[in-house]
A and B are shown apart, each in its own frame.
Chain A
Amino acid sequence: MSVINRRDFLKAAGAGAALGVSPLAGFGQTVGSAASLSNYRALVCIYLFGGNDSFNMVVPRSVAKYNAYAASRQNLAVPRDSLLRITPLNSDGVNYGLHPALPELRNLFRNGNAAFINNVGTLVQPVTKEKYLDDAVNIPPQLFSHNSQQDQWQTLKGLAVSRTGWGGRIADMFRDDLAGQRFPTNISLHGDQLMLTANATTPYVMGLDGPAKLVAFNGTFRQPQTYYQQQLREAYERVLAGSHKSVYGRAFAESQQRALQSYETIRSAIADAEPVAVQFSSSDLGRQLRTVANLISAREQLQMKRQIFFVGAGGFDTHDYQNEFQPQLYADLSKCLGDFYLALQQLGVADSVTAFTQSDFGRTLTSNGDGTDHGWGGIQVVVGGAVDGSKFFGTYPELSMGGPDEVSGGRLIPTTSADQYVATLSKWLGVPDAGIEQIVPNIGNFAQRDLGFMG
């Protein structure tokens, strides 16, 4: 198993971190003092599960463009006069608006703290419509399949087989530089995610509101831990540490041990940190982003220098009732983004934290009656003080049927790749130029490695 070291790329001569027995040994985190990534930076991936119909998120308002959009989308088109006007600083000559359920996002964009990445999707290399129709170019396998394209976004593996995610590879690369951290670099609030999976480090998984209460060993409800529970815990830890014949038993024991080891660290760090004052929405996404904000608030207790968070929102697979569901989904997303940015400002880390969306795919421009089906390219949004905001990156596509990027019932061929999108984010987080290919293996197939949205 090879672990990529960030310093190999920086050619720095720093001494290797001293390895020692640590409560974090189970997470592959090393212990030591060297930390060349001394300032704090974090990425927050907001994964929109199911495939966001993002061509209703950012919509052309100029009449001809809007009419083409409306002709394609028919009963799913957002009424033109309801769109929230936005004016990208780098205008392509067309006027645009946001879905009316996105007022907070509109404000973030206006204030220069949000940018849109247009028609971005999974690619192996640049694709034209002609080559796509002729099967003359490599494309990611199993387009339009949820799990295949989620894997693709999260691994950027292209045609290769990969069982690590790009966020996991970053954590591995940074491992020696982040040896002083008291907690894993990567945290998911939405289950085990391939994006954070690595070879040498293990992400920590918590719930919407943070780590679960370990009732068994730490006191039930308001009662303190008893002598009995302490004995029980020690016995349990020894059972876990024993030798286990089955690989499944061993993996189970390891996951239990990791959960136990990190429990006090994370609970006490959160308890000691100032909770954010922002009233987040009580939706799943709101709860996750509130928890992320509280974890960021605890960054100094945990001595964190780099973090990648994964939060998820479901329901974007709008095959049905799209006109009913999409406004709810967007209203929640918008409020959550606004609240989160406010929390970052209160914590004084607005310039150090960047939130960004990923989603399985865009959706068909055409309707299936009351919803849309799986597409390819879509629009993603990036939010944060370090974002070169109020701008579009990547070309906003033609939305007419038969347009230059359109195939098969209104699926759009991406003109910007997920690789370029992630490479730009990775660079901002501190991945050296020479190490980008370790994180984004196919980046060499694209001329532009940095889309520029991180300044």
Chain B
Amino acid sequence: MSKFYSVALLLCIGMLASATGNAAEKSFDIAPIADLSSDGFADVAVLPLSEGPKVWLYSSADGSPLGTVSFFARHWMPVALAAFSGGGGEGSVKDSRIALLALNNETGTLSVQVRTAEADGSKVGSNIGFFNSTYQPIDVAVVDDTNGDGISNDPSIAVLAQRYYPWRQAVQLRTLDGQLLGNWTITQPRQQLLSLAGVSMTKGQSRVSALVKGKDDGKARILSVRIADGEALPAIELATGWWQPDALDLSVQRDGDGDGMANDPAYVILVKNQPNGEQSLILKDVGSGSFLGSRQVIDGSWQSESLSVAADLGGDDKEYAFIIASGDSSEELLVNVRELESGNQVANLRPNPIRTIADAFRFLNQATLGATKEEASRVVDMGYEAWIDEQMELPVSLSLPFVYAELQITGDIERTTRTAVWIRNAIHGPDQLRQRVAFALSEIMVVSEVGVLHDWGLGIASYQDMLANNAFGNFRNLMEDVTLHPAMGMYLSMLGNLKPDPEKNIRPDENFARELMQLFTIGLDELNIDGTVKKDAQGHGIPTYTQDIIQGFAHVFTGWYYDKSADEPYPPIHPNNRNRTVPMVLIPERHDTGPKTLLNGVTLPARNDGERDLKDALDNIFQHPNVGPFISTRLIERLVTSNPSPAYVARVARVFNDNGKGIRGDLGAVVKAILLDKEARPGMFSPIDGKLKEPLLRLTQLWRAYGALPTETSNLYRIEKMWEQVGQGPLDAESVFNFFQPNYAPPGEIRDMQLVAPELQIATDYLTTIFTSYLYLQTHDWNTLEPEGYKYPSKIFIDFEEDNALAADPDALIDGIAERLLGGEISATLRSEVRKLIVDIPAEWPESRTSAAIFLIASSPEFAYQY
């Protein structure tokens, strides 16, 4: 089946003026294979296109996993698969082979690799190269009877591909040992290539057939080339007239009339019907193109991805259609098997994705403050969704009670203590998903100890707890808790905001009103559901609000102040008031009682009811259609990727708008949709997937990987002036615009492709130098439990003992560290550089070898990004 555009290839050859994100239109390809499970029925091979060059095998009896087959190296990007007989006889799927077409991400070359269709299947023959690196691969197919003598003893492999300049669409056909049998141009003006099938026919009529779609007329048709003489055969229209279903995939039924003779093949085309989205099969005679019938197969709640027809299953001579479909989530997979003649369903399976430790590790780098190999094993056992459900039930790891208790004893600087408790929760808090989401929220609804809150450690700890408490709650509650938190009140000057005094030209303060809308909820421009900016007739964005509306909200937010009932100081030492940790309260006589202009043409009436004004105003923002796409985009950027496709944003925004139970703003459902989305779960398949990890997250991951402990007995993870030592501290951004801005694009290929990479904004010469130095000290001089450690500004210790035990064997040491820090996936370059470095260090100094290896891996680019 066809494949999404190869971003890597396009980048290599520079054919794309602007990348449009990595919207993978297809997620899966399917092929029936030999009956591995011995239940009398063919099993299936599934290619999860977004998870690297690896095929999952399932029993078609119950969908149970039968193992995986890995092809190529990880930097190959899978495109499509096909299965064929390994010689078991006519049309047989016994003893079958899988042919996988893939693109080398580094060189742009295309190859097919053949392996036996069994768990950990072995390689058959050499890789078969097709075309050259200027071609974009579309699909692969097998022709069982290449010469058309009626005996399937001469299989060949066909690849469909296209080149942008000069424009060419073509099929190449090669024998299993790579000999070129044909190289045929099938270019038609302005057509999109969808899929390729091989058709075995008697009397030398075997052919390769491509399913294509005209870009102008939107019509799907089949273009064929006869293998024997390379003759282009007349095109077959999928449908005539106004009814034009979306064609998805093409396969072939050998015996169109069901008489047991494979001399009258039929095309089987998988289509999606609009508007109800039902998916069905259309059967057309290969020779004449005449319509033979259709079969309804899958309802509109699933998206069919791929189709493959196989015969001779269990020796009943019948032919079956295998269809694979996906849901919105990467966890949702449907395999539907139908008897082709009758259309009867024989199996409808919901197999589970087969995941590795490396897959789980990548998931955990999105869902926690740092993946660990121990947690990754649990995720493999549990599955992603069950793990998320478990996490959401865990109690909240709080900051404030510990900061308060500690300050009572030490009277230390609030900021240092507050940060130390944050670090402890980051490393050891069991509620990792909550802590990660709270961290994301702290970078969206920003308050910071830089500036007016410089001595507000208790208030910020309370704000952090408020975010953690709301992480899986409703966004509307979060909005209100943020609005009324005194730390936010002080930071954006709503605290003490007064009603107008016209005689003195005094207007309400607009600061919070503006940033609440611009940064926390709806943004500057009206958005589509997929997060793209709506444009007016002149092509300009449409502002979400005017100055009048800002002023309206500024009037709403008048009259709020510290809760005086909480005015007592924190005893016995600390001077600051508890009122920095409890919601602000309304002082009615300070609240403006006039009418107030809000969004969407709403005006609040004149009244003296500040609490109702506030609730109505927050409701007014909450109901704005921008909130879903705006917050979904921000959270996807913080958790998963800098450049989500519009389709990904739309899928998540719809969950924000309605969690399936009619509730708007369910953040738990939104977080789940973000992490389980098929776009969140790719392997290393596209260079624009994922994002850079900010320094703080790199550090928490390192600490968590080694279960870091404090060097002091106090159980506090102190780093004095963390922003100076590390370059970043939690809730310590430069301004309400966070450490970096969402639209930041570093010069070079990222900007040239019109992509963004917010975290790169703080990868400056200065901050990278600071961070590299800190990593060095954390893995060398400062990493000590010895008494001199007390003098160092960082009091966090990571225990290398387990690694030290491996250090005598450099490769074992590298493997051990790579498992902890990289989920076991380490590049050849990094491995060889680490090896060269540590073999130079005498084996009698295991700690030195370990320090060097951990430093080099933790400071490497591959540790610096997640995908």
Contacts and interface: CB of A to CB of B under 8 A. Distances in A.
Contact of B773 (A213, A245, A246): A213
A19 interface: no
A159 B540 contact: yes
A215 B373 CA distance: 30
B768 A373 contact: no
B21 to A, nearest CB: 13
B687 A246 contact: yes
B829 A369 contact: no
B524 A142 contact: yes
A238 B769 contact: no
B467 to A, nearest CB: 22
A211 B765 contact: yes
B64 interface: no
A20 interface: no
A424 interface: no
Contacts of B766: 191, 205-207, 211-212, 259
B446 interface: no
Which of A249, A263, A364 has the most chain B CB within a 10 Å cutoff? A249
Contacts of A33: none
Contacts of A212: 766-767, 769-770, 773
Interface string A73-88: 1110000000000000
Interface string B676-692: 00000000100111111
Contacts of B749: 247, 250-251
B217 interface: no
B313 interface: no
B79 interface: no
Nearest to B691: A248
Given A142-B524, A367-B506, A220 B547 contact: no
Interface string A320-349: 100000000000000000000000000000
A49 interface: yes
Contacts of A317: 511
A368 B507 contact: yes
Given A197-B747, A244-B861, A259-B769, A366 B830 contact: no
Interface in A137-188: 141-142, 144-148, 159, 163, 188
A220 B547 CA distance: 54
Given A197-B747, A251-B760, A369-B497, A215 B865 contact: no
Contact of B830 (A242, A258, A374, A408): A242
Interface in B469-501: 492-493, 496-498, 501
Given A141-B541, A409-B507, A252 B524 contact: no
Interface stretch (B35-43, B343-351, B852-860): B852-860
Contacts of B734: 191, 314
Interface string A396-424: 00000100000011100000000000000
A367 B776 contact: no
Contacts of A251: 692, 746, 748-750, 757, 760, 763
A309 B722 CA distance: 27
A77 to B, nearest CB: 10
Interface in B536-556: 540-541, 543, 547, 550-551, 554
Given A231-B840, A239-B861, A259-B765, A248 B748 contact: no
A301 interface: no
Nearest to B492: A319
Interface in A368-392: 368-371, 373-374
A320 B753 CA distance: 42
Interface in A195-220: 197-199, 202, 204-207, 211-217, 220
A144 B517 CA distance: 13
Contact of A255 (B507, B745, B768, B855): B768
A370 B506 CA distance: 9
A3 to B, nearest CB: 12
Given A1-B752, A245-B684, A373 B764 contact: no
Given A214-B769, A239-B833, A247-B757, A374 B514 contact: yes
Nearest to B775: A216
A13 B777 CA distance: 53
A96 B844 CA distance: 77
A253 interface: yes
A235 B837 contact: yes
B544 to A, nearest CB: 10
B800 interface: no
Contact of B765 (A253, A258, A366, A373): A258
A215 B773 contact: yes
B847 interface: no
B221 interface: no
Contact of B518 (A145, A242, A247): A145
A374 B769 contact: no
Contacts of A250: 687, 749, 861
Interface residues of A, number: 81
Given A243-B829, A247-B688, A253 B861 contact: yes
A240 interface: yes
A9 interface: no
Contact of A373 (B509, B540, B692, B777): B509
A216 B496 contact: no
Contact of B852 (A215, A232, A253, A408): A232
A159 B547 CA distance: 19
Nearest to A242: B829
Contact of A216 (B688, B776, B830): B776
B451 interface: yes
A247 B755 contact: yes
Contact of B769 (A211, A366, A410): A211
A437 interface: no
A103 B524 CA distance: 40
A72 interface: yes
B827 interface: yes
Contact of A72 (B105, B505, B772, B855): B505
A198 B747 contact: yes
A205 B741 contact: no
Contacts of B751: 163
B764 A255 contact: yes
Contacts of B496: 320, 369-370
A446 interface: no
Which of B540, B691, B766 has the most A CB atoms < 10 Å from its CB? Answer: B766
B507 A367 contact: yes
B661 interface: no
A242 B404 CA distance: 48
A255 B761 CA distance: 10
A231 B839 CA distance: 12
B864 interface: yes
Given A147-B741, A214-B773, A192 B761 contact: yes
A231 B507 CA distance: 63
Contacts of B10: none
A71 B505 CA distance: 8
Interface string A341-365: 0000000000000000000000011
Interface string B731-747: 00011010001001111
B864 A373 contact: no
A371 B493 contact: yes
A231 B837 contact: yes
Nearest to A143: B547
A228 to B, nearest CB: 8
Contacts of B317: none
A104 interface: no
A376 to B, nearest CB: 11
B833 A366 contact: no
A245 B685 CA distance: 9
Closest 10 CB pairs of A and B: A216-B776, A205-B764, A242-B829, A215-B773, A368-B509, A249-B861, A212-B769, A319-B493, A259-B765, A366-B505
5 contacts: A197-B747, A251-B763, A256-B861, A366-B507, A369-B506
Given A144-B514, A220-B780, A255-B760, 7 more contacts: A49-B735, A142-B524, A188-B764, A205-B764, A232-B837, A251-B760, A314-B734
